[in-house]
């Protein structure tokens, strides 16, 4: 840190309502920045010169927001294709396909994502996609990313028109009574379909990541965690996807901090010394923690089940109105071996588990991993942790597991989830308050593009606990506005093992800051989501500044 009178600060922000989220000094009026770091507050910097002094005119400054679970590449790709998330009928989707076909007669592929069968009256149908597209290859990814629908040309390219086509365990290709595919494909069966468009080129990925990053910065996000890179039927865009992130950072196209979870399918046998006591991993011994404060390797992403909206989450009892209880994508023994090996190899685990049966399996395999070798502070996580019974909550605490839910789910998909969960299981669904009361850290994540990913509307959803129809959804799980803000700052930094450098405004921390037009912890709850992001700073540099507040 600079000495008084010897170094000129790069920036001082004054006349601000600074929410530091540092319990020792929770509020301030001024922040000093030097060499990308916070150097002090208020009187600490009052006598120091600065290259630039910005008068915030009473605006609120918070630590930059951190999303611990998003799909950045997928979101960037979605920004360049048909966005079906707002469609309320299947005809709207077919019309969009027809318009795309008419606009580019020579186009081979028409792609889109974000459709919700509960909003448009069912899944799109293969033959109607054929008619709308003029026989082109058409593929739409469901909003959960756990299902897709495709046209006949896609099924022909895969070789899956015939009912004799082999469907992998944990997958589904829906067929009519005569064996013809309806167009719907789910879970592990998606691999062959999605592989038709993979791997995406490095240039295409950098373009997508840059577009996504620009949107994130405009929403106050200064760092995100990508929830799965590499070869995978559900996530990942290329077996060499990390190279696109590295090149994007080097070219200045990715301007916020990124942590990358590695999808479990990329693990393979590795040769190690007998004393190392693990045999699965990545080449060169790459593991959680490699990288720097701009780009780093995060947890290993492990999959168990599907999703609630696709009715593929693995439950202990059937979904309401259905004769099944979802699916497991991998068997317990395979998951146990993988997680034990990853834990022994030094990885943090991020285990996707949505249904309560999947949560049982996730708890079991993490417990097995922890028992296999003592490691200080491994911070293993269960991603989503959507349906958690009271007995399971006790195991979270006993094992020191971090639940990683998505607060925005309540608002956007809560109505559909309540319908298939039923009254008995509803109180266990999308917990937050009960996690906090149990002493657990609850980070903020979006799972974007499954739902809208802007942090401030998500914080409002965490507090209000109401669906888009206005229905109360477990009001007892609501949190305060300050607790919601901590989820996207302090708690997210902890879950990503970065609590010593971000998540708070304090000396030596990264100068990752958001300037807001109002204090989200002080306004009426219904106004939190409407809070405007005036500027976003990463390492003291204004990466989003539409009004030119930090120009000059």
Of 430, 438, 443, the residue nearest 471 (C-alpha): 430
Per-residue tens of pLDDT for the chain, all 552 residues: 555 456 899 999 999 999 999 999 999 999 999 999 999 999 999 999 999 999 999 999 999 999 999 999 999 999 999 999 999 999 999 999 999 999 999 999 999 999 999 899 999 999 999 999 999 999 999 988 889 999 999 999 999 999 999 999 888 999 999 999 999 999 889 999 999 988 889 999 999 999 999 999 999 999 999 999 998 877 888 999 999 999 999 999 999 999 999 999 999 999 999 999 999 999 999 999 999 999 999 999 999 999 998 899 999 999 999 999 999 999 999 999 999 999 999 999 999 999 999 999 999 999 999 999 999 999 999 999 999 999 999 999 999 999 999 999 999 999 999 999 999 999 999 999 999 999 999 999 999 999 999 999 999 999 999 999 999 999 999 999 999 999 999 999 999 999 999 999 999 999 999 999 999 999 999 999 999 999 999 999 999 999 999 997
Q: pLDDT at position 4, please?
A: 46
For 101-127, letters b (16+ CB in 10 Å) and e give beeeeeeebbbbbbbbbebbeebbbbe
Q: Is 139 helix (H, G, I), strand (E, B) or coil?
A: strand
Burial class (CB within 10 angstroms; exposed 0-12, middle 13-18, buried 19+) of 279: middle
Of 406, 433, 429, the residue nearest 417 (C-alpha): 429
Q: pLDDT at position 6, please?
A: 62
The three-state DSSP-derived secondary structure of 294-336 is: CEEEEEEEEECECCCCCCCCCCCCCCCCCCCCCCECCCHHHHH
Return d(Cα 519, Cα 277) in angstroms, integer. Answer: 51
Which pair of structure tokens corresponds to residue 157? 């390219």
> What value does the CA radius of gyration of the chain take, rounded to a whole number of Å?
24
Task: Assess contact for 214 and 252: CB atoms under 8 A.
Answer: no
Return d(Cα 431, Cα 517) in angstroms, integer. Answer: 30
Return d(Cα 93, Cα 139) in angstroms, integer. Answer: 11
| DSSP secondary structure code for residue 89 in this structure | S
Question: What domains does the chain contain, in order, with CATH numbers?
Answer: 11-64+507-544 (2.30.40.10), 296-404 (3.20.20.140), 407-502 (no CATH)
Which pair of structure tokens corresponds to residue 387? 């349906």
Return d(Cα 131, Cα 357) in angstroms, integer. Answer: 41
Helix-, strand-, coil-residue percentages of the chain, each rounded to 5 = 35, 25, 45
């Amino acid at each position: 840190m600079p000495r008084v009178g010897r170094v000129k600060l790069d920036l001082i922000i004054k006349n601000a309502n600074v929410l530091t989220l540092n319990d020792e000094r929770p509020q301030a009026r001024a922040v000093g920045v030097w060499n990308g770091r916070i150097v002090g507050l208020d009187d600490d910097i009052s006598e120091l010169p600065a290259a630039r002094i910005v008068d915030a005119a009473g605006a609120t400054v918070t630590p930059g927001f951190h999303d611990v679970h998003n799909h950045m590449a997928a979101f960037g790709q979605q920004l360049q294709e048909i966005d079906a998330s707002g469609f309320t009928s299947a005809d709207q989707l077919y019309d969009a396909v027809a318009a795309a076909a008419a606009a580019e007669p020579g186009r081979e592929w028409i792609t889109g994502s974000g459709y919700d069968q509960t909003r448009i009256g069912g899944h799109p149908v293969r033959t109607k996609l054929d008619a709308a597209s003029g026989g082109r290859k058409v593929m739409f990814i469901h909003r959960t990313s756990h299902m897709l629908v495709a046209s006949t040309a896609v099924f022909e390219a895969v070789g899956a028109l015939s009912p004799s086509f082999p469907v992998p365990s944990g997958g589904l290709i829906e067929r009519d009574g005569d064996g013809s595919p309806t167009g719907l494909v789910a879970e592990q069966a998606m691999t062959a379909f999605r592989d038709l468009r993979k791997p995406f080129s490095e240039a295409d990925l950098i373009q997508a990541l840059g577009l996504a990053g620009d949107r994130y910065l405009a929403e106050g996000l200064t760092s995100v965690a990508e929830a799965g890179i590499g070869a995978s039927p559900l996530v990942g865009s290329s077996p060499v996807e990390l190279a696109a992130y590295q090149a994007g950072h080097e070219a200045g196209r990715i301007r916020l901090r990124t942590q990358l979870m590695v999808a479990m399918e990329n693990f393979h046998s590795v040769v190690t010394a007998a004393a190392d006591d693990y045999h699965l991993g990545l080449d060169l011994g790459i593991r959680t923690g490699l990288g720097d404060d701009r780009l780093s390797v995060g947890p290993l992403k492990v999959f168990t089940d599907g999703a609630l909206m696709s009715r593929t989450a693995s439950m202990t009892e059937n979904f309401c109105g259905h004769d099944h209880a979802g699916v497991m994508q991998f068997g317990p023994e395979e998951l146990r071996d993988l997680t034990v090996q990853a834990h022994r190899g030094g990885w943090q685990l991020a285990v996707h588990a949505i249904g309560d049966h999947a949560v049982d399996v996730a708890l079991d395999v993490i417990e097995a991993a922890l028992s296999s070798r003592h490691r200080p502070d491994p911070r293993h996580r269960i991603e989503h942790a959507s349906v958690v019974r009271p007995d399971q909550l006790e195991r979270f605490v006993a094992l020191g597991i971090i639940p990683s839910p998505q607060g925005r789910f309540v608002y956007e998909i809560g109505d559909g989830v309540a319908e298939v969960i039923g009254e008995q299981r509803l109180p266990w669904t999308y917990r937050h308050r009960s996690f906090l009361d149990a002493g657990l850290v609850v980070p903020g994540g979006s799972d974007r593009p499954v739902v809208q990913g802007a942090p401030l509307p998500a914080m409002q959803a965490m507090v209000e606990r109401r669906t888009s129809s206005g229905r109360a959804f477990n009001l007892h799980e609501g949190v305060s506005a300050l607790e919601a803000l901590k989820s996207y700052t302090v708690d997210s930094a902890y879950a990503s093992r970065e609590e010593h450098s971000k998540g708070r405004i304090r000396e030596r921390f990264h100068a990752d800051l958001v300037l807001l037009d109002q204090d989200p912890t002080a306004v009426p709850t219904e106004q939190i989501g409407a809070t405007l992001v005036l500027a976003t700073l990463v390492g003291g540099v204004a990466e989003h500044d539409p009004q030119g507040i930090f120009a000059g």
